[in-house]
């Protein structure tokens, strides 16, 4: 059983660390973004090569490597958005009073280019691994896409915990498209789908020998789906989600204190 535990622990650690690193880099001065993206792009190219090399490798190491490659590919997509390189045509707050379909279109236009890039990335990875037996990298990318899309829609429709502190200042206008409310109709659907998929992947993992390629692959994906469930519950439960990545927020400049005078200054005597 330790093989299952090791795979689950690896998935959690990689998810937590990669998320924290991206948050940290996004909080640095914008003058550093080009260097961060340069490094991320080099890693993304290495990940694409890794997906190609491991597409026919059905060993435990192949499962871990493909998982990491899918995670890196997704991380690159995330960085391009949060650093402002690939977002959408609208870069302004939501107009007051906007609602319904108009509000949805306005919100979509803030990140439509990013969503197209994500779809293009999925198509590229699917093309790379289409003839291979190891497609863990593709499924890792798709699970992360599901987490991203479902979470984004729930925040748009309304949840109690918006986690606005994770949004960098240069994307501050995105906060105006979020809605704070106790619940929305999509939330139970999102949690149910994620929970059912998690249980299904756990069942698939249990049907293979511990330590085998299939067992490790399904365990990695099941853990990622379980994290999707956790992320969704953190949107509504009174839990300190920010505590998971407090260290990564240290790169953000603390807000400058606003000094308010207790009384208006007294004008001195005018010179004649």
**Which residues, including other chains, have CB under 8 Å from residue 252's CB and lie 6 or more apart?**
27, 168
Higher pLDDT, 241 or 141: 141
Residue of 159, 152, 137, 158 whose CA lies nearest to 217: 137
Predicted local confidence at residue 39, as pLDDT: 97
Q: Would you tell me the crossing angle of helices 136-157 and 60-82 to the nearest 10 degrees?
A: 40
Three-state DSSP class for residue 15: helix
* Residue with token string 């890792």: 140
Q: Report the chain's mean pLDDT, rounded to a whole number.
A: 91
Q: What residue segments make up the domains of the chain, in order of their start?
A: 2-251
Half-sphere exposure of 57 (CA within 13 A, CB side): 15
What is the Cα–Cα distance from 66 to 208, expressed in whole angstroms? 19
pLDDT at position 271 over 50: no
If you average pLDDT over residues 192-218, what whole number do you get?
A: 96
| Tens digits of residue pLDDT in 109-138 | 999 999 999 999 999 999 999 999 999 999
- Residue 253's pLDDT band (boundaries 50, 70, 90)? low
**Tokens 């997704």 — which residue?**
74
Confidence label for 105 from pLDDT (cuts 50, 70 and 90) = very high
Q: What gap in Å lies between CA 89 and CA 201, rounded to an integer?
A: 38
- Confidence at 164, pLDDT banded by 50, 70, 90: confident
- Asked if residue 81 lies in contact with residue 87, where contact means CB atoms within 8 angstroms, the answer is yes
Q: Answer whether residue 85 shows pLDDT above 80.
A: yes
Q: How far is the C-alpha of 147 from the C-alpha of 139, rounded, in Å? A: 12
Full-model pTM: 0.90
| pLDDT at residue 244, rounded to an integer | 84
pLDDT of residue 241: 75
| pLDDT at 44 exceeding the cut of 90 | yes
Query: CB–CB of 154/180 below 8 Å?
Result: no
Q: What pLDDT, on a 0 to 100 scale, did the predictor assign at position 61?
A: 96
């Amino acid at each position: 059983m330790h093989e299952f535990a090791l795979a689950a622990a690896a998935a959690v650690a990689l998810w937590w660390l990669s998320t924290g690193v991206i948050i940290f880099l996004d909080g640095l001065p914008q003058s550093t973004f080009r260097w961060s993206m340069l490094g991320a792009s080099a890693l993304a190219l290495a990940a694409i090569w890794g997906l190609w090399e491991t597409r026919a490798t059905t060993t435990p190491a192949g499962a871990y490597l493909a998982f990491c490659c899918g995670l890196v590919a997704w991380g690159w997509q995330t960085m391009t958005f949060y650093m402002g390189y690939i977002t959408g045509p609208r870069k302004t707050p939501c107009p007051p009073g906007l609602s319904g379909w108009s509000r949805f279109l306005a919100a979509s236009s803030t990140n439509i280019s990013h969503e197209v890039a994500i779809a293009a990335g999925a198509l590229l990875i699917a093309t790379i691994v289409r003839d291979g037996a190891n497609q863990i990298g593709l499924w890792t990318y798709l699970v992360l896409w599901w987490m991203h899309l479902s979470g984004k829609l729930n925040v748009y429709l309304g949840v109690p915990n918006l986690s606005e502190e994770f949004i960098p200042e240069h994307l501050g206008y995105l906060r105006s498209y979020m809605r704070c409310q106790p619940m929305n109709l999509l939330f139970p659907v999102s949690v149910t789908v994620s929970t059912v998929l998690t249980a299904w992947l756990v069942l698939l993992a249990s049907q293979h020998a511990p330590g085998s390629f299939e067992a490790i692959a399904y365990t990695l994906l099941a853990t990622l789906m379980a994290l999707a469930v956790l992320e969704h519950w953190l949107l509504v439960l009174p839990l300190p989600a920010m505590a998971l990545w407090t260290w990564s927020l240290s790169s953000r400049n603390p807000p400058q204190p606003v000094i308010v005078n207790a009384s208006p200054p007294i004008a001195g005597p005018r010179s004649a």
